[in-house]
Structure 1
Amino acid sequence: MFLIEPVVGSFFNEPINTTLLDAAYSIWQQYEPESFPRSMNVNNYALFAFDATWTLIQSLQKLCASKINISSSYLSFIGSSYCFNRHFIHSKLLLDAVGRTEFLGVSGRIRFSDNVTDRITGLYCSAKNVQLLSNGLSFVPVLEYFHPNDWKLPIKENVILWPGNSLIPPTDKAILEGVNLRICLVGAVPFLMVNEIKDVSGQTTIQYTGYLPDLIKLLHSKMRFIPTIELAPTNKTYYELIQSVHDGVYDMLIGDVTVTAKRRGIVSFSNAIFDNSMSILMRKEVAVPIDLFSFLKPFSRSLWFLFAGTLIYAGILMYIIERQHNEVLQNQPILSQIARSVWYAFGNVVGYGVEFSITTAAGRLLTGSLYILSLILVASYTANLASDLTIAKSKAIISGIDDIKNGKIPYKRIGIYPGSSLEEYYLREISNGVRNYYSAGSLDELYSSLLANIIDAVFWDTGTIEYATNNVYCNLTLIGNDFDKSVYGIVTPYNWLYAQDLDVNILALREGGDLEILRKKWFELKTCPDSSEISTEIGIEATSGLFLVFGVMSILSLLLFAWGERHNIKNYVLQLIYRRKSSAETKDTMNRRLSKASAQSQNYQIELPDISHF
């Protein structure tokens, strides 16, 4: 351990006012010999006090000797008789006199300046090593300093006894074995989970599980420290917990604490215990309703009109070219010929068969142009239709952090936990220091607000919300790529004595794969269905318009068929009516005949004589 203390100039063989010092010693020895400790035992602070008093005396002499025209006495005071409630009237003049005072004092050269509280000359310090000897403590000077030079070794180097009474400087480090540590735990699931367990006697004990408790067990097995674990108060922010380490309330803060430049200004961090980044959490959007005629969406309305016009134009052109040379088109009405030609053009474009073959060179050239048109249009339509029907399942309102920066979501609908590294990022990169976000007191409150549609997005660490969306909140999802790569570290006091021992063991855990095993154990759990398992098949609603068109066309086909067969249908209906009428008349005739035969049989039974008495 080193002790730094101010010393007088004679310690470095610098000049001092020996005449004044001898006179002071003489007066002391003359008037109070019983308290005089001899000159070699006078404390340096007594010499500093003497020079301060001598400075005041000389400054007052200069003030009183000045010819400044003032109305009151030079030594006048105002206020009560109580010394701490009195004010020197000419304090400004006195300070000016002190600034002009310069002399060689008993501790060295004395000189002051404006706006500086300490003397600007005669500053001497000594750094001493505290050594434990058999007869007590010894303070051995090892470094010297005097203004304006820097620290340097003394002319006569002293022997330093290192721990263990060794003359060789130790090469090892302070270790944590057997050291009591006050550890504060903070973190969201799955970093930290707190469970209350009741034993058979009804007593409740707190059990910690998760990534952080497992990490503490690994560190304890390697370093053998004695942990006293406390759960972080729920009403404290991350910054307040870090400040608690700085204030000595805790020796360690272990949790999902991101290493930032601002935090490193007041505490130290260990090597990384978890690789971190930020992500945006949002609700899973309901599938976008698909238009009834979405199968027409691949082409614009103008392109559909152009396509139909092209078919009609090609059909009419084909009619003009082929009507004199094609036997199929001859001896047909003009409308029938044009319809057959348009159908020929349509069949070639969509890739299906046609009713007649081309006989002229011009017709074949026109057919080739239809093939080229078919090759491009049909392929483009198929590709765009597949893309529209499969991709347009659902669509988030943003695609990543750039959309947040561009203001696509109102800032009041972005959830942030105050006092966290996420707030630092938001204030630095998005809002320019304005706290215009939705503030929540916990991560659970952010989840609830997001599900209740109070906010639209949440900033949080990727590992935590990825676990939540995989196991707890299946209706939430991460949007876009992660950003602001960082790490978690264990918070320790600034320039902590055991920092090297902690860092070495954390690196050993990382190199040995133990940290990766912990990450897989707690962060690769998954109970929610994978988004890739959600069906991407085209549903009935996506093609309902297509079947509606087919139904309408089939009805029109039936009507067209009925119109073409109207005479046959009329004859069939008349025959059916005649058959039903003939059948009814035949049935009535049979009924009358049966009724007449039944009546004749009854009359015969009445006229037959009774011969039962013979």
Structure 2
Amino acid sequence: MQTTWSSSDFSSIKLLGIFEDISNTSESDEISIHSRAMFKAAIFLSHEYNMTIDGQFIGWQIIQTSGNVMDCFSSTCLAVSTGNIVGIVGPELSREVLVIAPFANRIGIPVISYAATDPELADRKTYPAFYRTVPSDDTAALSIAQLFIKFNWTSCIIIYQNDAFGSGAFKAITQTFNRYNLNVSQSIIFDIATLEIQGNLQTYLTSCSSRIVILWAQPTYITLILQSALDFDVLGPLFTWMLSSSVSLNSFNQNFHEKLIGMLTIQPTLDVSGKLINRTLLNAAYQIWQQHEPGSFPGSTNVSDYALFAFDSTWSLIQSLQQLCSTNANNASSCISIVNSSFCFNSRFMNSNSFFKGIINTTFLGVSGPIQFSANVTNRINGSYYVAQSVQYSSNTIDYVSVLEWSDDTSWIDVQQSNTIVWPDNSLVPPNGFARLANVNIRIGVIESIPFTTISNVIDQYGQNKTTLVGYVPDLINLLQNRMGFISQVILAPPNQTYAGLVNAVANGVYDIVVGDVTITA
């Protein structure tokens, strides 16, 4: 992609941007492309506004990571040891932040991430140099729990990738569900090293009573998992899937699009009516982006929200550097004092304490809303917003349609009345969240126990002697079968079968369920 971003070699004061390398993904990653462009746009805009530090414009340096934590750290170490890096924007991945944030604290520079959502990163004592403009997954978990309550769902299955991003979200959702008396019935791990589910996806899903599946993974992994679900036929209409991120729907065979109908995505959003943002900064940044990298600019309505978080991360560092130097204006020494070393661990930003305090004290209206960081946790203080999008037919193809908005003030509300939620099987009725038994064969074990289940010999229409079961239990089974549509295979247990033996028979797959009376003996 052709760009005209000018070099930043003119400056000895630089911000380091850490972004995912899209060449290592199976599909174009708009989060990385857009966030990188808005990082540069923020720095170029500071030049247009004549914002200088010690008489210099701020420069920039970018490293791209493949998701390998050690490679990310190695590249960051090299950048610090060869240039005057005064702050870091990124990384995108939570597992990379777990290493980069402690390193940055050691050398005295701040890290502000635009996409790392692991709740464990919120601990200010553990990560004193870390900040983030994106909401934590603790907030996402709260929004999901309230969505379950809205639709009277009580349980779910969670599939998550086995790193800080996935396990952090799984922990947050589980803890939040416990507070709301909701249940995580099954957890399934996707291994990011082997790119496979640990175990059999079909068996996991079909053996679970819940039919709501929460999938928490990076977009590239979501595509792989959904394709596997299509292969096993465990998407719609049998299951309702809820994704942590939207992915390209064109990557799936058009013949299977019907099975994707009714999927939901739950993502941070900035496109909320009445939300206060700095449109002057936003329009100026877009203009710079279009000037220097027109090929990647998707139009103002299609820019990833994470790119706006990236701009505000960068602008926070620029504003804080200005504040740091303004308080140092009466001193003869430079406000930017750096001890450089060829060994990155020995590099030091000498005014780190004042710099960190300046970030917490800096407030401004950013392109993603009001920006202010907490002194107690690493999260931003101001309100968070999420959008629920439904996969449905739109203009003869399937697409994501925004249907619900969430904020910590209002919970879930309709985006607009014309945007109706379409559920799996193109239904307008929300699923109940449990397995549907229509046309499912169920082996039902029963025991002879008068009057609940009695063996009766009758003469059928052909004059043959036939043994049937009568009583309360057979009548109950027939009633349930008529109402629920399952196909029953009633099996009479041996007369010497014990209660423990019946339980073991269900556990060993002899019966699917056992129906019988229970006698109180003590």
TM-score tier (shorter): 0.3 to 0.5
TM-score (norm 1): 0.28
Q: More helix by proportion, 1 or 2?
A: 1
Computing the radius of gyration over CA atoms, which structure comes out larger, 1 or 2?
Answer: 1
Give the TM-score taking structure 2 as reference length: 0.33
